[in-house]
Amino acid sequence: MKLIIKDIIGPRCITQEDGQKIYEKIHNPLLKGESIILNFEGVRQFASPFFNFAIGQLLKDIKTETLRSLLSFDHLTPAGKMVVERVIENASVYHTDIDYKKIVDSILEEQEKESK
């Protein structure tokens, strides 16, 4: 399957709502093992909310390696590549079971360092 992103979203891929539209088109085919090309020709502007929802969200039930083997990008600008790379890196280590205690521990630890 090949999706022309500009036709679906327009030249700006920056909002989570637009990211969700892409996610809904590609999630099931990817689960079924279908290869997908996202063509970004004509898309100029990118931001992380779009990729969080379009791509990062896929990693909830698809392994990173599987995603990399099935999903490819065409005509993605260097700026877009950088954002999507960061999003994938972030999503692959993200756990929905957030450990609040660990976060508070880490902030308190930084606070302590600073006060010394």
Residues that bind another protein (CB under 8 A): 12, 14-16, 44-49, 52-53, 56-57, 59-60, 68, 71-73, 76-79, 81-88, 90-91, 93-94, 96, 98, 100-101, 103-104, 106-108, 110-111, 114
Strand partners, 4: 39
Q: In the bound complex, what is the minimum distance in angstroms from residue 10's beta carbon to another protein?
A: 8
Asked whether the beta carbons of 30 and 63 are under 8 A apart, the reply is no
Nearer to another protein, 28 or 72 (CB): 72
What are 4's two structure tokens?
């022309």
What are 14's two structure tokens?
């920056």
Nearer to another protein, 4 or 75 (CB): 75
Which residues 6+ apart lie within 8 Å of 44 measured at CB? 11, 12, 77
